[in-house]
Amino acid sequence: MLDHRGNVFVLSAPSGAGKSTLARRLVRETPGLIFSTSFTTRAPRPGERQGQDYFFVDDPTFDRMVAEEGFVEWVRVYEHRYGTGRAWLEKTLASGVDVLLDIETTGALNIRRAIPDATMIFLLPPSAQELERRLRGRGSDGEEQIAGRLRHARHEMELFEAYDYLVVNDDLDLAFRKLQGVVLAVRAGRERMAGTAEGILGTFQK
């Protein structure tokens, strides 16, 4: 279990639910919140930068980090592996910065075990039909891939009870306000604000 000052937020969703769009906006418009930068064994895509989009490492390096318990969580996605670096996360949280992890359900459940007070948020599509429409609208997947994504989406949806907050993305702006509302509410929680409240109380005369 990590000892931390910053808050950990986990955002998961089926492919096509709008998670990446909302996560980028949430980080952009919420001061003090940054993305977790994952390690991956896949090659960089055009425009991706080392240390900003991902920490790109080879398989032997990833194997060594696994053996040394260098990950808070890691998963295999198809032929590549992705993991959240323990040292990076501990250092960032110790500075008081909040971290958003944009990860799928398996990694999210591993985070819950490592950081029990992480705030878990699941982004829901309005319906299976709307999710299929969005997947087709991207124009990047064939029929077999779309069918596979929908099957996987059902599996992910079955895990919604493991999350603390559920947000339906049927209106992008409303979904964003709800996500940001969760972040702000967690920051204002009594346990997290107790030190501040004690300090203010000390300014009053007895």
Q: Which residue in the block uniquely carries the two structure tokens 């493991």?
A: 162
Whether residue 13 lies inside any domain: the answer is yes
Which of 63-67, 113-117, 189-193, 202-206 has the highest average model confidence (pLDDT)? 63-67
Distance, CA of 73 to CA of 2 (rounded, Å): 12
Query: Token digits for 166?
Result: 């559920």
Distance, CA of 149 to CA of 15 (rounded, Å): 7
Whether residue 154 lies inside any domain: the answer is yes
Whether residue 75 lies inside any domain: the answer is no
Whether residue 133 lies inside any domain: the answer is yes
Collapsing DSSP to helix, strand or coil, 175 comes out as helix
What is the span of the domain harbouring residue 151? 8-36+97-201
CATH code for the domain of 26: 3.40.50.300
Beta-carbon contacts of 26 under 8 Å, excluding residues fewer than 6 positions away, are: 11, 33, 100, 176, 179, 180, 183
Identify residue 91 by its one-letter amino acid code: K
Q: How does the average pLDDT of the chain come out, rounded?
A: 92
Whether residue 128 lies inside any domain: the answer is yes
Q: Say how many domains are in the chain.
A: 1
**Mean per-residue pLDDT for 144-160?**
92
**Mean per-residue pLDDT for 144-166?**
93
**pLDDT range class, residue 140, cuts 50, 70, 90:** confident
pLDDT in tens, 22-68: 999 999 999 999 999 899 999 998 888 998 889 999 999 999 999 99
Whether residue 180 lies inside any domain: the answer is yes
